[in-house]
Amino acid sequence: MKRLFYLASIAAIINSCLNGKKEKEIPSGGPCSYEDKFYPAKLVKLEASPDSSTFNGWFEIDNLSGNGSKDTLSYLRLTNNSITKEQLQKVSLAIGNTYKYVVSTIKTGSCNPDIRSIKLEKY
């Protein structure tokens, strides 16, 4: 008798779960759209890897909080990529030149809401 009661209870629970109202799920990931804002990023230091095949750039930007201070950002850390020799020559990367620091803020979708990167394009 107890066994029949447990089986009936389990069946009722499963039935209520399957027939209940399904809420619309918010999918994670794309498609997403962003609004990009560009800020100047001055190259202040260029470091070669031990074998000199790739480089890391250090860029100085104005602190975006508006307090007048400066931040220094590593290209490698920010983009998770090194600068190749080809990029170095193509863009004519040089200390003192200003490039684009990009702040991308999500407009639609449920991706990463805030992405920051440096584009090796002159500002």
pLDDT digits (tens, 9 = 90+) for 70-113: 999 999 999 999 999 999 889 889 999 999 999 999 999 989 89
Q: How far apart are CA 97 and CA 60, in angstroms?
A: 11
DSSP string, 19-39: HSPPPPP--SEEEEEEEEEEE
Q: What pLDDT, on the 0 to 100 scale, is given for residue 75? A: 97
Q: What pLDDT, on the 0 to 100 scale, is given for residue 110? A: 87
Q: How far apart are CA 94 and CA 97, in angstroms?
A: 6
What is the CATH architecture assignment of 32-122?
Beta Barrel (2.40)
Q: What pLDDT, on the 0 to 100 scale, is given for residue 17? A: 57
Q: What pLDDT, on the 0 to 100 scale, is given for residue 121? A: 94
**If pLDDT is split at 50, 70 and 90, which confidence band does 29 have?**
low
pTM for the full predicted model: 0.71
